[in-house]
Amino acid sequence: MPQYEIMCGIVGYTGESKAQKVLIEGLSRLEYRGYDSAGVAIQETDGIHVICRKGKVAELAHTLGHFSLTGTCGIGHTRWATHGKPSEVNAHPHTSCDGDIAIVHNGIIENYAELRDELAIRGHVFTSETDSEVVAHLIEDNYHGDLVEAVRLSAMRLIGSYGIAAVCEQEPGIIVATRKDSPIVVGYAAGAEGGAGAASAEAASSASARNGAGAGAGAKAQKGVRGSFVASDIIAMLDSTRDVVVLADGQIAKLAPDGVEYFDMQGKSCEVTHTHIDWDLDLAEKGGYPDFMLKEIHEQPRVIRDTLAGRMVGGALVIDELDLSPEELDLTDRVYVIACGTSYHAGLIAKNLIEAWARIPCEVEVASEFRYRNPIITPTTVVVAVSQSGETADTLAAIRDARVKGAKVFGITNVLGSPVARESDGVIYTKANKEIAVASTKSFIGQVVSLTLLAMLFAQAKGKLTTPQVRLLFRELADTADQVERILSDTDAIRDAALACKDAESALFIGRGIGSAISYEGALKLKEISYLHAEAYAAGEMKHGPIALIDEGFPVIAIATKSPTYDKVVSNLQESRARGAKIIAIATEGDEDIKNYADYVIYIPKVRDAFSAITATVPLQLLARFVAIERGCDVDQPRNLAKSVTVE
């Protein structure tokens, strides 16, 4: 089974101070991201010492207190596991066979199994369950006296996403880092006492001259220690330097105590761009975003990519963790999705896909209802429990009930080892990473993508989708990451629409099919963070009651993307507009006609209707956030709400 790592935390330091202290401070700065184990590798005169602990950075610091490590070069890591249990063995840094090379890695090595088999034949012995360990062995295999070259050759073999920092016993004081689709930031600090390069250097692009001299790029004397830093997040080095280089994909940084050199994937010196960070610490924790919600909304393309990584193996869709044979999948004749809140809305989307593709009847039920009725469950019933936190009381109770009644239960959760994961027969972990804002955004997208894969898996097993169809769907699903990025790159139309409804007392969200499920999520987001009353309806229900609400200026937000029911939604818009509604339409790029029926149009890229939940939800999240901010609300911590609901 693949043992993936996801966005964890990397720090590295080489300089004049004790690395142990600098690394612990850096790791502590990354704690807010969530993690379950931490470790450091420090170069001492007698070799590299690796110390890892399950649990908090404070425990690691306490353990380090028992050693008297004095090394001034090292790397550290906080790991938040999704596969491969949190343990000292799985914690980073990972080392090569002889312990001469230690690495920390963020991301997912998709071809790790193939590489591990290849390296095992050459005598490498692996000790952890992780994909990351293969990186240490690969670098060892490629090492012939030059760490930069070994990292370069290794990176060229890696498929997937990675931010890597490596140290080697034979090259004291040197850290080599590289990246692809996973952030790596490098900085040089002249230290409080200043330094030759510190005062004179200007922030500017520079060739690979050492940072302390040329690329010292504005490394003005600042409180903190002197030396070179690498991290997955600027925040880890902010106390010492604010002048950083955000590595581009395929760039390699060679850190030494007196500066940094940069290389490209051909091994040649390369130009890098220096950036001066003027955020305060609070802003830095939020990655430069004003609030966690916005940061998490912007993480969604990454969540889509990580959730899909490694799922297509040899042209077939694979979800090993479910532990269900194709025969068992084929025998499934009823699916229940049980969940609460936003997770329930992800279930509504899954229903559409499971029924359309796999032709299995699927019911979606709020867990607090499911647990108190007597649903029809047979041994061929599959219950899918969706929970970001993995500890929602009603969802857990429903899982227990379903299992007692004989159903197979699968969890879809964001938290490794959570009760939902422990109490289910199989589990898919969404790759959202810790979600801090109370209102769920990136977790929802992770759930929708995971459930989409599950629907494809059922359809594949039942022979309802051919292998080429599954591959095509998978490719299109993967494309949604870029499409979401495009939506996030221009949000002016969403802001305009938000200004138009910020003073309303109530709003109505409508859509049909998947659009109605999206409407429910849009309404929930708006009400929970802006306290503006919002309701969602399947658009066809308008005439059966909700239309009575409409009067002059009443906001109606419609999912009017191109779908088989597009014309019907347009009719609903016309009848709402005729009664004075202010229409905000989420529409497909290129649909000029929609402007005739809407006051505000928010365009999103064209996607297959099945994937519209991923793209159309993003503007609704942003709309809710803009409205909430206009109304002076705390978007990260709305009143009366908690991130996990562990009581009934």
Contact flag: residue 519 with ligand F6R (CB under 6 A)? no
Question: 193 to 232, contacts with ligand F6R by CB under 6 A?
Answer: none
Residue with Cβ nearer ligand F6R (71 or 522): 522
- Does the active-site annotation cover 223? no
Q: Is the peptide bond before 93 cis (omega within 30 degrees of 0)?
A: yes
Contact between 83 and 144 under an 8 Å Cβ cutoff? The reply is no
Task: Output the smallest distance, CB 412 to ligand F6R, in A.
Answer: 9
User: Look-up: residue for tokens 């801090």?
Assistant: 436
Report how far residue 76's alpha carbon sits from residue 26's, in angstroms, rounded to the nearest whole number: 8
By CB under 6 A, which span of 5-13, 114-122, 233-241, 386-394 interacts with ligand F6R?
A: 386-394
Contact flag: residue 342 with ligand F6R (CB under 6 A)? yes
Residue with Cβ nearer ligand F6R (132 or 387): 387
Report the candidate in 473, 481, 421 with the shortest Cα–Cα distance to residue 452.
Answer: 473
User: How are beta strands 243-246 and 185-189 bridged, if at all?
Assistant: antiparallel
- Does the active-site annotation cover 643? yes
Residue with Cβ nearer ligand F6R (206 or 343): 343
| Structure tokens given for 367 | 């867990």
By CB under 6 A, which span of 161-169, 199-207, 337-345, 402-410 interacts with ligand F6R?
A: 337-345
Task: Output the smallest distance, CB 439 to ligand F6R, in A.
Answer: 4
Report the candidate in 529, 445, 497 with the shortest Cα–Cα distance to residue 603.
Answer: 497
Element of type H or E holding 48? strand 47-54
> Which position among 232, 387, 452, 516 is part of the footprint of ligand F6R (CB under 6 A)?
387
Task: Output the smallest distance, CB 433 to ligand F6R, in A.
Answer: 15
Contact flag: residue 395 with ligand F6R (CB under 6 A)? yes
By CB under 6 A, which span of 63-71, 388-396, 454-462, 530-538 interacts with ligand F6R?
A: 388-396
- In the Cβ-directed half-sphere of 38, how many Cα atoms lie within 13 Å? 28
Task: Output the smallest distance, CB 413 to ligand F6R, in A.
Answer: 8
> Which position among 96, 352, 388, 519 is part of the footprint of ligand F6R (CB under 6 A)?
388
Of the candidates 56, 85, 462, 643, the residue annotated as catalytic is: 643
Contact between 70 and 416 under an 8 Å Cβ cutoff? The reply is no
> Which position among 136, 439, 481, 618 is part of the footprint of ligand F6R (CB under 6 A)?
439
Residue with Cβ nearer ligand F6R (96 or 441): 441
> Which residues does 264 contact at the CB level (< 8 Å), separation at least 6?
250, 251, 252, 270
Residue with Cβ nearer ligand F6R (284 or 428): 428
Per DSSP, the chain holds a count of helices (H) and strands (E) of 20, 26
DSSP track, 241-291? -SEEEEPPTT-EEEEETTEEEEE-TTS-B--B-EEE----HHHHHTTT-SS
Task: Output the smallest distance, CB 498 to ligand F6R, in A.
Answer: 18
Contact flag: residue 340 with ligand F6R (CB under 6 A)? yes
Task: Output the smallest distance, CB 394 to ligand F6R, in A.
Answer: 8
Q: What is the DSSP letter of 640?
A: T
Distance from chain centroid for Cα 639: 26
Report how far residue 157's alpha carbon sits from residue 114's, in angstroms, rounded to the nearest whole number: 11
Q: What sign does the dihedral 310-312-315-316 (CA atoms) show?
A: positive
Residue with Cβ nearer ligand F6R (19 or 337): 337
Count of residues engaged in binding ligand F6R, rule: CB under 6 A: 15
Contact flag: residue 393 with ligand F6R (CB under 6 A)? no
> Which position among 133, 291, 528, 636 is part of the footprint of ligand F6R (CB under 6 A)?
528
Q: How many CB atoms lie within 10 A of CB 111?
A: 15
Contact flag: residue 130 with ligand F6R (CB under 6 A)? no
Of the candidates 8, 52, 168, 633, the residue annotated as catalytic is: 8
Task: Output the smallest distance, CB 386 to ligand F6R, in A.
Answer: 7
Binding site for ligand F6R (CB under 6 A): 340-343, 387-389, 392, 395, 439-440, 524, 528, 644-645
